[in-house]
Amino acid sequence: MTGTRRARPMLGTLVEIAIVDDLPGANAMGAIELAFAAVERVQALMSFHDPLSELSRINRVAWLRPVTVSDETCRC
């Protein structure tokens, strides 16, 4: 089985994304980049290490006042 595999440090761990298919190289890399972008979005919303994430903002101020969050966070 052929494929393309890439890994990046994200979410406090090593995130590996693999395309196991016969996609041409450029298409496989494009798909991997889209997948990493989705993981980066989750990290931006839910990281408790990042003081700018929505989760950190909720933890910091929700006990004082209501916090407006993105639709993505609301669905979680």
Q: Would you say residue 62 has pLDDT above 60? A: yes
Q: What average pLDDT is seen over the chain?
A: 88
Bridge-based pairing state of the strands 13-19 and 4-10: antiparallel
**DSSP code, position 37:** H
% residues pLDDT > 70 (the chain)? 91
- Give residue 31's domain range: 4-75
Can you give the pTM of this predicted structure?
0.76
Query: What confidence tens digit (pLDDT) does each residue in 23-48 have?
Result: 666 788 888 999 999 999 999 999 88
d(CA 26, CA 44): 27
d(CA 75, CA 55): 13
Ramachandran sector of residue 5 (left: φ over 0; alpha: ψ -120 to 50; beta: rest): beta
Q: How many domains does the chain have?
A: 1
Higher pLDDT, 61 or 11: 61
Structure tokens at 39: 């993981």
